[in-house]
Every structure is written in structure tokens, then in C-alpha cells.
Structure 1
Amino acid sequence: MAAFKECLHMAIRQRVTLLLLREPYVGAISHVTCNRRVIQKTTSNRDKPLKSAVIVVDPTYLILENPEHVSENIVGFIVKIGKLVVGIINAYLEKDGNIEDDIRKITRILQDMDTENVILTGDFNARSLWWGSRAENERGLLLSEMIAELDMNVLNQGSDSTFYQY
């Protein structure tokens, strides 16, 4: 919990707008609590705690959330910056979960958002050469097919770290 508070304080000091969390420490309450707006599926199910949450650190921009786009593992929402509309999806896909179902959920959320400006972040537990893995597995193949079909771009830079851990 101390690491989470340190991360939040650093985000506030650096004027970060959003913290996109995956596998956050939630303790016995099974969801994230803090003094900022949290976009998450609030649950008390300790057997299935949430794996994805978003903290709105700086509420300068209009954030629109649709409860249908929020589950324990996937959080989708819209950010409006003036006339610019950006859809953001933060996902944690369980390595033993059905990735085809997850891909359908993500695709449906993207379609519902109805914007060409999208950022998809996550821990997909999938390997593909597209994002710096040495080999590709079935999950990586299915995810890269979705990315290609949606005409999205992978921004990972080889083996550069794509996350920060506190």
C-alpha cells in the first residue's frame, strides 16, 4: 500500500492526468481505494479481485465512463480534450483466460466509443514479434490479428520496458 501511495504522490507532483493500473494491490477489499476518482468495477469478491483500474489524478479533462465498458479486467472510457475525443482501454488479460472472448469485448468497446483516436494499453499475456517477443504464441497471433483488422499500430519499442512498477 505504501508503494501505491508513493506512486500516486509522484503522479500528482509530475502533473500526470491518468494512472493506468494492472494487477493493483487491493488487499482484502478487492478494489482500489484512494482520494481520487477511480474507474473500476467495484467488487468485494476476494476470489476474483479486479485486475484493471484507472485513477484520474488530474480532473482537468472531461472523462466519460460507460459502466458497460468496465469489468474486473478491462476498463474503457473516453477523454475529451477540447474537440479531441480519445478512447482509452486499459486491460489485463488472464493468461489462462479465453482471449477470444476478451478480444470480442475490446472490439465491442472500441466500436461503442465511435472515435478513431484510441489508446489500447494492457498486459495481454501474449507473445508476438510485433511487440518485441522472441517468438509468437497463439494468444499473440490472435491479438495481432485484431490489431491489424482494426488498423491500429503497436508502439512498443522492442524490449524497452512498457511499464513502471513501484
Structure 2
Amino acid sequence: MTAYSFRPAGPDDAQTIFDLIQKLSEYLGQIEKLTACPDDFKEVGKGPHPLFQALLAEDQGEAVGLCLYFNSFSSLRGKKGVYVQDLFVTEAARGSGLGRSLLAHVAKEAASEGATYLRLSVDVENITAQKAYERIGLSAATDEQIRKIDGLAFEQLAALADEI
């Protein structure tokens, strides 16, 4: 088994993060949804309250895994948590347990900062990831459903504030 090294990403890793996000969107067959650019990831870990953090897994200096996440808060629990936005392992490293290791490292760091839970969403067609998450212990939520609004609909909703 390969011994991966793990490290927090910084602003200098923006291109690497982007490259892994691009590979993730290709893997999911959703490359047309990718509108980010490398500069968008230069905010990683910046300031006392970063928008997001990222953990990179490397094999002999080459990035082979990414976990991009941010802090969250549960009003029902009254507790801090962590939300994993993106988890990706390159094809060569799949099946090695690297995804689980990335999640474990993020969970450990979050727990050390007072977090009590981890959440993520998974593409409905990514059955392989769903099964892997189940093996790790992440159960599918049956009591809630993710909703989204973006693009023009988001802009229209925001404009409603001026009319109300």
C-alpha cells in the first residue's frame, strides 16, 4: 500500500486544486458545469475565517487526492460541524482507501476545533462513491433534501429584496 502524505493546501496550490476539481467534473461527466478558474482557489485558507479549506494527499510530491471543505453550524444540534464540498481521488489511487483517509484527517482536524459532525452530498449517479461512503459510516439522510438556486433565478431572488 502506498504511503500518502497529507497537507493543508494554501494559495500557492490554487492550480493544483483547480486541476483536481476539473478531473472530478470530468469523472462525473459534468465538465460543462465547471465555470471556476485557478484564481478562484487562491482564497484557500486565507484570513482568520477562510471561505474554505482544502487538504491535499500526495504520492511522492504529486497530488492524488483532494478534500475541499468548510465549517458549518447545525441550529438543531447547536454545534459546529464541517461540510465536505468536494472529495476526489485520482484514478490511480482509487481503491486504496485514500478517500477514507482524507475524510478521517478532515474529521480529526474539525473535531480538534470543536466540530461534532461531518456532512457531504454525493452525485446521485455516483454509485461507487455512495457505496464507499456507506462503508465508512456516512448514511444517506432520509429526512431532508438538498435544494439549490443559481444563475438568473438566484439573481432574480436577490433582486426581490429591493421590491419587498
> Which TM class, normalised by the smaller chain length?
0.3 to 0.5
TM-score for the superposition, normalised by structure 1: 0.41
TM-score for the superposition, normalised by structure 2: 0.41
Structure with greater proportional helix content: 2
Q: Whose Rg is larger?
A: 2
